[in-house]
Every structure is written in C-alpha cells, then in structure tokens.
C-alpha cells in the first residue's frame, strides 16, 4: 500500500515549495521524503503533521532545503535530512534500541550541539539509506538573522504553549545579545507549566548565558519531563559535575547522552597540550 502526502506552502514560502512523504511496504525503501525549496522548520512540521510523531528541536540550520531521502526507517530519513550535522535521539515505542521501522518511533529530538548559524550548501549521494541534501542560503544581501526581539517577547507571553515554545527557541538566533528582557522571559519559561516550553527555554538559556546557566541546568536535570532533561544535557558544554549528575538519571536516553558527552570531554582534555 502506498500513501502519498503532499503539502504545498506557496503562500508561506516560494511558489515551488513542496514536501512529499511516502510510506510503503517495499523493503529498504519504506520511507521516502522529497522536499523542494522549503525551510527546515516547515519540513519537520509537515512530517510531524503526517506521522503524528513529536519531533523536538532547539536550533536548526537556516535557508531553504531541497532533499531526496530514502530509507527503511523514519530515523534514517531524518538523519539524511539533517545531513548528519545534528545529534538525533529517538525513543522507540517499545523503548528498545533495536533498528526502527516506520511505525516504531514514538518521539525524536534534534539536538543542537553540531549546528551553528547558516549552513552552507551541502550534497551527499543518494543511496538506499541516504539521500541528497542541499541547504541553499538566502540572498546574501539580505539580513539572515534579523532582530526579532520584540516579536519573540510578545510570543513568549502567548496563551498558546506552542507559540511560547517557538519564542523560547527563537531567542537563540533572533534576539538581541545581552538583552535583560530576553533573559527574564527565558527565566520565566524555565518554570512554565508546559514541558515543551521548559525544554526550549533551557536550551536557549544555556546557549545565551554559558557558565551563568549552571544553576538553571541543575534544576532542569531534576525536571520530571524527560524532554527537558534531554535538552538540559544537550546544553552542558564542559561541566563534568553536571554530566555526572545526569549519568545517574532514571531515563536511559539521558544517561547515555551524558556518558557520551563526558567521554568526549575526557578525551578532549587528554589530547590538550
């Protein structure tokens, strides 16, 4: 059985903007994604809408995406879409670490450790499990990071938790540096009733405040939401004490992330002159 889903967002992006997700039973090509000239945020929104699988993220590359990705699982297609430039964490419906099939993934997180700024055009050859990806930058004469501080501050007070979460994530690239109002908004977001808002808030807060976010990260690592704790670990850069705290987490995904980061940090310190 072949299910074809096409979404054309002409009014929101360009006239040729399109994302097509195909799911079928052919072995090795169960999931197929075709994207033309769409922002990555809208591509992910389309995937979420059609698969009903939550995909969380804090920061994404900018620019328009043109991609053809084919694989045996949604995880493989997402890795292709991101061109392996981000850490992708998935939670299976059975909480196992076995290879995913299209309907096994229950939730996914795209972590921002490897992402930064505008990503230049990238290409990778198409295979059964990989695809081709081009991130085309916008007009170089345009302002790719406009000051959206006032709009984001307004959205941060929205009654809609999705809008508040988007505002928290937007403060990473779209807000003025060192702005006291942004810091206050993020601090408010850290205690929001909605876990999605808290997760985006700790992600942005840790990146904007650096070492000044230690106390907030400690609190986030004790948050009842796994989503928040995952984003907290992602926001830890060189604090071994915080990573040691995360290693004792009750959730396996959080523990494994903390162990991997701690091992990488230890290796970096060994190689340092």
Question: Each residue of 190-213: pLDDT tens digit?
Answer: 999 999 899 999 999 998 999 899
pLDDT for residue 244 is more than 90: yes
Residue 142 lies in a domain: no
Mean pLDDT of the chain: 75
Instruction: Check residues 89 and 133 and name the one with the higher pLDDT.
Output: 89
- Determine the pLDDT at residue 218: 97
Q: Indicate the DSSP class of residue 212.
A: G
- Determine the pLDDT at residue 24: 64
Are 223 and 198 in contact by the 8 Å Cβ rule? The answer is yes
- Determine the pLDDT at residue 216: 97
Interior/surface letters 135-166, b for 16+ CB within 10 angstroms, e for the rest: beeeeeeeeeeeebbeebbebbeeeeeeebbb
Question: Each residue of 32-79: pLDDT tens digit?
Answer: 888 888 888 788 888 887 888 888 776 676 677 888 888 888 888 888
**Domain check: are 267 and 154 in the same one?**
yes
**Domain check: are 203 and 82 in the same one?**
no
Residue 141 lies in a domain: no
User: What string of DSSP letters covers 48-73?
Assistant: HHHH---EEES---BSEEEEEEEESS
Are 57 and 112 in contact by the 8 Å Cβ rule? The answer is yes
**Domain check: are 74 and 156 in the same one?**
no
Q: What 3-state class would DSSP assign to 108? A: strand
- Determine the pLDDT at residue 146: 60
**Domain check: are 130 and 249 in the same one?**
no
The two three-digit tokens of residue 190, written as one number: 């850290």
pTM equals 0.65
**Domain check: are 86 and 198 in the same one?**
no
Question: Each residue of 120-136: pLDDT tens digit?
Answer: 233 333 333 333 344 33
- Determine the pLDDT at residue 38: 82
In the chain, the number of structural domains is: 2
**Domain check: are 14 and 126 in the same one?**
yes
Mean pLDDT, range 240-257, rounded to an integer: 93
Range(s) of the domain holding residue 228: 149-271
**Domain check: are 163 and 263 in the same one?**
yes
- Determine the pLDDT at residue 8: 33
- Determine the pLDDT at residue 265: 82
């Amino acid at each position: 059985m072949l299910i074809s889903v096409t979404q054309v967002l002409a009014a929101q992006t360009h006239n040729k903007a399109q994302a097509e997700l195909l799911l079928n039973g052919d072995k090795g090509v169960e999931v197929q994604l075709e994207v033309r000239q769409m922002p990555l945020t809208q591509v992910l929104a389309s995937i979420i809408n059609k698969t009903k699988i939550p995909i969380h993220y804090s920061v994404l590359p900018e620019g328009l995406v043109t991609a053809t990705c084919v694989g045996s699982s949604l995880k493989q297609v997402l890795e292709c879409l991101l061109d392996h430039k981000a850490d992708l964490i998935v939670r299976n419906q059975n909480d196992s670490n076995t290879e995913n099939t299209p309907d096994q993934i229950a939730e996914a997180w795209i972590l921002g450790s490897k992402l930064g700024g505008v990503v230049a055009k990238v290409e990778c050859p198409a295979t059964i499990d990989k695809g081709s990806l081009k991130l085309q930058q916008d007009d170089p004469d345009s302002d790719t990071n406009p000051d959206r501080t006032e709009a984001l501050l307004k959205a941060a007070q929205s009654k809609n938790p999705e809008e508040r979460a988007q505002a928290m994530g937007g403060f990473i690239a779209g807000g003025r540096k060192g702005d006291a109002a942004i810091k206050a908004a993020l601090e408010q977001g850290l205690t929001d009733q909605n876990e999605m808002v808290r997760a985006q808030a700790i992600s942005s807060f840790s990146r904007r405040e650096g070492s000044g976010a230690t106390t907030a990260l400690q609190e986030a690592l004790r948050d009842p939401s796994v989503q928040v704790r995952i984003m907290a670990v992602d926001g830890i850069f060189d604090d071994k004490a915080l990573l040691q705290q995360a290693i004792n987490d009750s959730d396996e995904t959080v523990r494994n992330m903390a162990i991997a980061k701690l091992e990488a940090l230890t290796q970096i310190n060994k190689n340092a002159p």
